[in-house]
Amino acid sequence: MGDLLRPGERDDDRYDRTRLIRWVDLERVQRARALVVGAGALGNEAVKDLVLFGFRHVDVLDMDTVVRSNLSRCVLFREGDQRSGRGKAELVAERAMELDPAAEVRGLHGRVQALGPDGLRAYDIVLGCLDNIAARLHLNANSYYASVPYVDGGTEGFRGRVQVVVPPTSPCLQCGMNRSHLKVMERRFSCTGQEAVYYRPNLPAEITTTSAIAAIQVREAVKVLSRRAPIEHVMHYDGLAGTCEVLSLEVDPGCPNHGAGRLSQS
Catalytic residue among 74, 191, 244, 255: 191
The amino acid present at 238, given as its one-letter code, is D
Res. 245: pLDDT tops 80: yes
| DSSP state letters, 40-77 | SHHHHHHHHHHHHHT--EEEEEE--B--GGGGGT-TT-
Query: Is 231 exposed, middle or buried (CB count within 10 Å of its CB: 0-12, 13-18, 19+)?
Result: middle
Cα→Cα distances 201→70, 205, 236, Å: 16, 12, 23
* Position 253 confidence tier, pLDDT thresholds 50, 70, 90: confident
Domain 22-265 sits in CATH at 3.40.50.720
Res. 266: pLDDT tops 90: no
**pTM (predicted TM-score):** 0.88
Find the helix or strand (DSSP H, E) in which 198 lies. none
> Domain segments of the chain: what residues?
22-265
Cα→Cα distances 15→11, 53, 139, 207, Å: 9, 8, 32, 26
Res. 228: pLDDT tops 50: yes
Is the distance from CB of 161 to CB of 42 less than 8 angstroms?
no
Q: What is the CA radius of gyration of the chain?
A: 19
**Residues 104-150 pLDDT 10s:** 999 999 999 999 999 999 999 999 999 888 999 999 999 999 999 99
Q: Go through 86-116 and write b for each residue having 16 or more CB atoms within 10 A of its CB, e for each that does not.
A: ebbbbbbbebbbeebeebbbebbeeebeebe
Write the CB contacts of 121 (distance below 8 Å, at least 6 apart in sequence).
146, 147, 148
255 among known catalytic residues: no
**E strands, 76-221, in order:** 104-109, 125-128, 150-156, 159-165
The amino acid present at 135, given as its one-letter code, is A
d(CA 136, CA 114): 13
Looking at residue 163, its pLDDT comes to: 97
**Residues 61-118 pLDDT 10s:** 999 999 999 999 999 999 999 999 999 999 999 999 999 999 999 999 999 999 999 9
Looking at residue 262, its pLDDT comes to: 52
